Structure 1
Amino acid sequence: MPSTLPDGDPAPASGELPASALSGLGERPFGFYVHVPFCVTRCGYCDFNTYTAAELGPGASHRDYADTAIDEVRLARRVLGEAELPVETVFFGGGTPTLLPADDLARILRAIDEEFGLARGAEVTTEANPESVDPAYLERLREGGFNRVSFGMQSAREHVLKVLDRQHTPGRAGQAVQEARKAGFDHVNLDLIYSTPGESDDDWRASLGKAIEAGPDHVSAYSLIVEDGTRLAARIRRGELPMPDDDVAADRYLIADEMLSGAGFEWYEVSNWATSEAGRCRHNLLYWTGGDWWAVGPGAHSHVGGTRWWNVKHPAAYAQRLAAGTSPAHAREVLTDDDREVERLMLELRLVSGYPVAEVKGEARTAVARALGDGLLQTEPFKAGRMVLTQRGRLLADALIRDLTV
């Protein structure tokens, strides 16, 4: 969850949604995101809405957070009415959700099930830092209904982890994967970051090799983004570290695709690879394919039927709103049909399933023809009516999307 809230229209204290948002409710996939905004330390590159103990201040605590989050789950049920909304995916993110007791995470999940009902075979994920869990904790999560875990590995090189201000030792992420498997988790993801200042190609290959060796069925790999206001940005501005290079990042992406593909992973979104269709992150696919989700927690962003809203940023303000029986929503926006179509193209084009050629209109068709000629789109899917990115197209996806949405 980004730390800066966007502008928007005032959100009603009741949390009431416009009729346009409720139209068709239940016909689209529905999920929950639960933001847990706590961290032991703040990583130098992180711009998320998270708080260490020193930053939290009065009015919010780890101890009371589960009860507050459950209050918002119950608010969601009131706002969304009696519509049948089996929850297909639940994702606990942060921050570090696993700083809360496993039983607290399970209580929040149980409240979602009690209010809405979990769909049969629902995917339930939590993020975790490798050092924030142990075998007993993972077993408690599995007993509580979680069936997928995502570990923030980032790198296998100590000097790279140091630049990122990560706390775990290089081998801990691999151990955590094995502990999760032993606890009964069928689906495990490792998050990696590439093009960190001071990282070499060999460092990146070593990180990928260790990630593959650990045995996850999903790997996410993201190029480091230097966000204004972070400690990393300040170090780069002072000349202590070099700015990440776009060409280096492109080379690292190609290395990742080569090594992961060679190990049996297939890309299904520009930055995500899985060993099977079952291993793909269904929660993220819900985002990318226009589903509905209610996001619980301070600063969390929800979307239902073309209405997007976001909660107040600070955990204390969030807790105060819910304790008073009012919605924690800070502001919202109602997307136009054109807005929704642009977002659909931006997201679906990043997927291996692609975007329908027939739905590209007007001058954008010229950009499509140019992209096909430049080798950014795969030929055979295009003949079948879908725009699917080539490997080169994945490297230039952002630029291509800009061409298609101008």
Structure 2
Amino acid sequence: MPSVLPDGEPMPEDGALPPDALRNAGERPLGFYLHVPYCATRCGYCDFNTYTATELRGSGGALASRDNYAATLTEEVRLARKVLGDDPRPVRTVFVGGGTPTLLPAADLVTMLGAIREEFGLADDCEVTTEANPESVNPAYLAELREGGFNRVSFGMQSARQHVLRILDRTHTPGRPEACVAEARAAGFDHVNLDLIYGTPGESDADWQASLDAAIGAGPDHVSAYALIVEEGTQLARRIRRGEVPMTDDDVHADRYLMTERALATAGYSWYEVSNWATSRAGRCLHNELYWRGADWWGAGPGAHSHVGGVRWWNVKHPGAYAQALGDGKSPGAGREVLSDEDRRVERILLELRLVEGCELSLLKPAGLAAAEKAVRDGLLDDGPYTEGRAVLTLRGRLLADAVVRDLVD
């Protein structure tokens, strides 16, 4: 969850949605994102809405404590049931993110999932994921999650090299994420993801190849690999500004992406979104696909964002303010926006073009269609799907995805 909230119109105190938001809701899957905003330490590159114990001390008091967080978040799940009324949809995906969700006891995560099960019901094939810091779980913890209904886990590996982890302020030791994959498999998790970051200052090609080799060797069925983005206001940005570490380089990012595609494809992984690869269709992250395909999800927790039927809203950031609002019987929503048809068209292009299936050419206006034709000639869009009415990125197009999208939304 990003640390800066957008502008928007005021959120009703009861969280009520416009009448049209649930029209034809049965045609869209419903997911839940549960944000756990606590971290043991703050990573130098992180710009998410997270808090360490030191940052919370004296700021929000007991209301901001993680000790009663599961009960607080459960109140928002109950609010969601009231707002969505008699919406009959069972929940298709649940994703617990952060922060570091696994700083909470496993029983707390199971309690939050139980609240969704009780209020909405879970689809028979519901995907239930939690993010995890490799140093914050052990076999017993993972077994308790699996028994409690979680069936997918995502470990933040980032790198296999100690000096790279040190630049990122990651506290786990090399080798621990790979061990976590084995522990998760032993606990009964069929679906396991490893998150990687490339382009860290001081990282060499050999370092990145070692990280890829280690991740592949661990045997997860899903790998996410993201270019490091240096966000203003972070410790890493300040270090770069002081000249302590070099700025990241776009050309290096491109080279590392090509290394990633080559290594993962050789190992049997297929890309299905620009930064995500899986060994099979079943291994994809269904929850993220809800986002990319504009489905409905309720984001519970401080700073969490939600989207239902073209209405987007976001919660207050601070855990203390979040708990106070729910304790007062009010929505923790800080603001919202109702998307226009044009907003939704543009978002579909922005998000769907990143997928292996691409986006429909029917979404494009004349200028966008002309740009798409040029992109085919330039080798950025695949000419095969194009003849069938879809814009699908080539490998070169994936390297330039942001620029391609900007042209197509015109």
Fold-level match, TM-score > 0.5? yes
Match of 1:95 among 99, 111, 124: 99
Of 251, 256, 260, the residue aligned with 2:260 is 256
Please report how far the alpha carbon of residue 243 of structure 1 lies from its aligned counterpart in structure 2 after TM superposition: 0.6
Deviation at 1:360, TM superposition (A): 1.7
> How far, CA to CA, are the matches of 1:359 and 1:344 in structure 2?
8
For residues 174-189 of structure 1, the aligned pairs below 5 Å read: 174-189=178-193
Give the aligned residue type for 2:219: G
Partner deviation per Cα, 1:159-189 (whole Å, 9 max, x = no partner): 0000000000011000000000000000000
Q: Shift in Å at residue 358 of structure 1?
A: 2.9
AA matched with 1:90: V
Per-residue deviation, 1:61: 0.8
Select between 295-304 and 350-359 the one with higher mean Cα deviation: 350-359
For 1:362 and 1:386, locate their aligned partners in 2 and report how far apart those are by CA, in whole Å: 15
Taking the aligned partners of 1:323 and 1:217, their CA distance within structure 2 comes to: 41
Q: Match for 2:262: what amino acid?
A: E
CA distance in structure 2 between the aligned counterparts of 1:119 and 1:69, rounded to whole angstroms: 21
**1:32 counterpart = 2:35:** no
Alignment partner, residue 378 of structure 1: 382
Residue 379 of structure 1, CA deviation = 1.7
Look up the equivalent residue of 1:333 and give its one-letter code: E
Inter-partner Cα distance in structure 2 for 1:385 and 1:404: 14
Deviation per residue, 1:215-239 (Å, 9 max, x gap): 1000000000000000000000000
SS of 1:62's equivalent? coil
User: Which among 144, 155, 158 is matched to residue 154 of structure 1?
Assistant: 158
Q: Map Cα deviations across residues 265-299 of structure 1 (whole Å, 9 max, x no partner).
A: 00000000000000000000011011000000000
- Which residue of 2 is the match for residue 122 of structure 1? 126
- Aligned residue in 1 for 2:285: 281
> Residue 25 of structure 1: CA displacement?
2.0
Post-superposition Cα deviations, 1:254-275, rounded to whole Å, max 9, x if no partner, equal: 0000000000000000000000
Q: Is the 8 A contact 2:38 2:52 kept in 1?
A: yes
Match of residue 3 from structure 2:
3
Between stretches 373-382 and 197-206, larger displacement belongs to 373-382
In the alignment, is residue 397 of structure 1 matched against residue 364 of structure 2? no
Aligned to 1:346, which of 346, 350, 364?
A: 350
User: Is the 2:28–2:295 Cα contact (8 Å) retained in structure 1?
Assistant: yes
2:89 is the alignment partner of 1:76: no
Q: Tell me the residue number matched to 2:22.
A: 22
CA deviations over 1:186-227 (Å, ceiling 9, x no partner): 000000000000000000000000000001000000000000
Q: 1:252: how far off?
A: 0.2
Counterparts of 2:149 and 2:256, CA distance in 1: 36
- Give the secondary structure class of the aligned counterpart of 2:64: coil
Q: Which amino acid aligns with 2:200?
A: T
TM-score scaled by structure 1?
A: 0.99
Cα distance in 2 for residues equivalent to 1:131 and 1:81: 40
Matched residues in 1 for 2:404 and 2:20: separation? 31
Between the aligned residues of both structures, percent identity stands at 69
CA distance in structure 2 between the partners assigned to 1:402 and 1:360 by the alignment: 12
Deviation at 1:27, TM superposition (A): 1.9
Structure 1 gaps of 5+ residues are none
Matched, 1:329 2:333: yes
| Amino acid aligned to 2:125 | G
CA drift at 1:133: 0.2
Q: Structure 1: which amino acid aligns with 2:113? A: L
- Secondary structure (helix, strand or coil) at the match of 1:125 reads strand
1:294 counterpart = 2:286? no
Amino acid at match of 1:175: A
**For residues 404 and 378 of structure 1, what CA distance do their matches in structure 2 show?**
14
CA distance in 2 between counterparts of 1:103 and 1:27 reads 33
The corresponding residue for 1:367 is 371
In the alignment, residue 47 of structure 1 is paired with which amino acid? D
Q: Counterpart of 2:130 in 1: which secondary structure?
A: strand
Deviation at 1:26, TM superposition (A): 2.5
Aligned length: 406
Return the alpha-carbon distance in structure 2 between the equivalents of residues 22 and 348 of structure 1: 22
Q: Which residue of 1 aligns with 2:314?
A: 310
Q: Is the 8 A contact 2:159 2:196 kept in 1?
A: yes
